[in-house]
Chains A and B, each alone.
Chain A
Amino acid sequence: MVATLLQLKVKLTQSFLKRSTLRLVLWILGVLYAGLMALIAVVALAAARGAVAAHPDNARVVTVLVGSLLVIAWTLVPTLFFGADQTLDPARFVLFPVTGRTLVVGLTLAGLVGVPGGLTVVIAVGGSLAAYSAAVGPALLAAAGAAAGAVLCQLCCRLPVTALSTKLTSRRGRDVMSLLAVVLFVVGYSLYILFGTGASEVSGSAFERLAARAAGVAEVLEWTPFGVAWTWGPDAAAGAWGLLAGHVVVTLAYVALGLWAFARLLDRALEAPLTTTGPAAVTADDAVARWSSRLPRLSRPTAAVAARSWLYYRRDPRYTAMLPLMLMFPVVFTIIGLSGAMPPDDAGIDFGRIVVMGGCAMLPFMAGVSLSNDIGSDSTAWWVHLAAAVRGRADRLGRMLAQAGWCGPLIIVAGIVIPTLVGAADRAPAAVGTMLGIYGASLGVASVFSGLIVYPIALPGESAMSMKTGDFGIQMLSQFGTMLGVCVVGAPITVAGLLLPVSLGWLVIVLGLVWGAAMATIGVVAGGKIVDQRGSAILATLRKNDTRLRA
């Protein structure tokens, strides 16, 4: 069964790539890029093996932290951003006489067959082998542990996604919220330990204090599913055989527990596959008419698009999931702010404030970028716009306004509250101005990109966590392109916000508003033109991406 599932995954990916040359080219580029990254990582770690042997304690902390980061990324990134690869969606096996037990190992390993999974295996196993290659025993144990770590990556990825997608949707919003609450707590607490003021602080430079705290975090992580697999090599290198035995047992226990839980979830998915996402209760009146009539100065199509998008943020779980994501940045950085930022070190480097300000910039950045595939989330329902010959401008502007309706206020509040909490209230005007400027820039760039590139995401009614596979390349191209574009277009206002004296904060607000409005307007016009020209091509892509239509 394992071999059958792995072959199936390869076949499905092959046939998917054959459908478009662009897909194939991007996929090959992705593989080359991943291969290069892996090669660099392994060579660098092999070169560093002397240092690893010379400083076993530091090496241990770094290994555990980096490994944990990898597993945490596998847990969070698919759930929050991309969704998990659902090529082998459990729901596809419903009509076959199989149980969770027969599928679980194959489905777990199938996750490693693919660009992100393969990259993880190569970097984890190859990297561990290279880093601990000073001695044979530790090298082999490090590699074995890393292999277990790669499996844990898959389990940590599939478990939350499967759990969330098999439950009834009325409850899904709550599930997402509770999961995010846990995540926020973990991330916030780690950042608090790393950057917040502890009791009787070790003196020294910021770097020394950071290193001391990192060791503390690693000590905890090495017994969690995130960190345990990466201790095999360091344990063996240090000759701590008792500790090694403990870590091996705990690792295997986590793998076994994960497989068992995954099998249970698969059984549930196979028993009750038709958990369609029950739509949110529809209001008694005509909410499209009500909300669009509140925008009387806009053309009717623009107001209609704005009203419909606005309602979708509340009614479509794929959009609702965005709210906690947007709130994550302000909340995490507020926690840091409340904990009291780390005071500047002797050299005057203020880590706390740098992190907090970075967090401020992330909010408008992510908010705008999240619009970069908005037509993709309409899926083929977008034909209504095409058939009614809605101007691209109206389409672009309506979507922007709907998001700005709730992200705008959020950004302003965050721009005032966060600097105030870290004791830099005088910087609030500059922060608000910079954030608004970045927001306008990211809206404008996303508006252009969403006309140029439409990639497959969770279809309407599907779990927000499911991702269409194979198009990893196109998705990366769109998202990285958008992010790069925002960095470029948002740079002037960011520089102004950072360099202008505090007393000119109000000027930054004006500059931010003007710059943001200008960039958003350019985005609406340019993006609108692209949508007007590419209308039928966009619908053709949407059709291709609608797996419901695929035989």
Chain B
Amino acid sequence: MGFDVYDDESKALLHFDPRTKFMLFVTSLIVSVNCFDLMPLLIYSVFLCAIYFLCGKRMQAVKLFAAFAFLTYLKFAMERAGTGAPVVVMIFSTLITVFLFFFPVLISLMLITKTTRINQFLAAFQAMHLPNALIIPLAVMFRFIPTVQEEWQGIRKAMAFRGISMEPAAILRAPMKTVEYILIPLLFSTISVMEELAAAALARGMDSEKKRTSCETVKLRVHDDLVMLVFLGIAGYFVYRKITGGAA
């Protein structure tokens, strides 16, 4: 997933509230489904890249934007030339179009995952008054994903000694056995960690019925409100157009 636990916040010029980033994500989803013209999409993506840049990931923002610009250019050149076997043209243009339309969603997803700390995330969820019954499993999930990866590494090492091979050929030969060998140690070790974790969390007072505070503070600031308004406007526009069935 690529969550950074402690990213380098020194380069960030602006800090956006996670809720703003969610809003961006939802808007991107709506836009990517409903917008078919290239120009508005371009402008929207530039906007997103700029926000990503401001949030601190400069090199990545530049690289992503370069990729986007390159593909647009390629598409443009392809259309202008009008040459090429239909099959090839179709495959290429479909791939490019899919990527282009997917781009805003990708950027807003990266904005969420790579510039937010997990604690900020959870604090934002709490501020949004989501029920504890949702926040606790989410927090546990984030914390458990690296654990699962660690366990998996350990199990692969154990498999190497026992002569259980993980190569595709071996998997195809005995798929059921392979599934069993993967799942059983993984599940047993995960269950034991899970139970200890639950005991430790409960013994330290975690209770889903009580309200938790957080040492991270999430506050909506001026730029948050500004951005949210703008994007709300964009999303509203698209939804309106879809509802009224307007033409391009």
A and B pair up: no
On B, residues with C-beta under 8 Å from A are none
On A, residues with C-beta under 8 Å from B are none
